[in-house]
Amino acid sequence: MHELELKNVSYRYSDAKKDEYVLKNISYSFDKGKIYAIKGKSGSGKTTLLSLISGLEKKYDGDILYKDKKLKNMNLDKYRNTDVGIVFQSYNLLPSYTAEENIILSMDINNLKGIDKKIKARELMKRVGLSEKLASRRVLKLSGGEQQRIAIARSLSYNPEIILADEPTGNLDKDTEDEIMKIFIDLAHKENKCVIIVTHSKNVSEKVDEVYELKKI
């Protein structure tokens, strides 16, 4: 059984003609303990595919299975709040909040109980290589690399099985990209997560276990 599997998945926009597909008959499989890259030229459907995997887009042909269960038959809100963590290129942090507050907000949204959220947030920051002294610093006072680490820590706050990352190093320099990739690699290889990264970066693609390349239709 694969952690996540796509079987003959096709997708077209609601206003598209019947034969105008963004994705056509995509069959990929993803397993825990491995890190994957999805690459392709602009317009090949990379971000659309990520939306399908994360359950944000529901109208498609074929099947997407999480642990052999069809996403179409699952509670997708619960799936997103429990099983999948998402990391964005633009970080999607609240700029008026501190680093710590951004992570705690994710725990609040996911209704985590029975833990000291402040301690948990600082543990997560340490896990992604951030000093505790940055916890009370507002996001806008942090570097791009630090903000991306906070975004990764936030995605881990409810311990999802799958980490989805959309161009997570696109705004970062080469050295910082390497540092961020080290975090993702450790999440897969040391913590047994399934990590899926959409990327244009050759450097990122060379560091993963498996690459899937989408062709523009």
Residues across the chain: 217
Rounded CA-CA distance 66/79 in Å is 9
β-strand 35-39 against 194-198: which pairing, if any? Answer: parallel
**Residue carrying the six token digits 């019947």:** 18
* pLDDT tens digit sequence for 31-75: 999 999 999 888 888 989 999 999 998 889 999 999 999 999 999
**Amino acid letter, residue 17:** K
Q: Residue 88's closest CA among 119, 47, 130?
A: 47
Residue 159 and residue 81 in contact, taking contact as beta carbons nearer than 8 Å: no
User: How sure is the predictor about 210, in pLDDT bands with cuts at 50, 70 and 90?
Assistant: very high
Angle at 172 between CA 191 and CA 132, to 5 degrees: 55
Residue 199 and residue 211 in contact, taking contact as beta carbons nearer than 8 Å: no
Q: Which tokens belong to 208?
A: 């993963």
| Per-residue pLDDT, 171 | 86
* pLDDT tens digit sequence for 112-151: 888 899 999 999 999 999 999 999 999 999 999 999 999 9
Residue 47 and residue 70 in contact, taking contact as beta carbons nearer than 8 Å: no
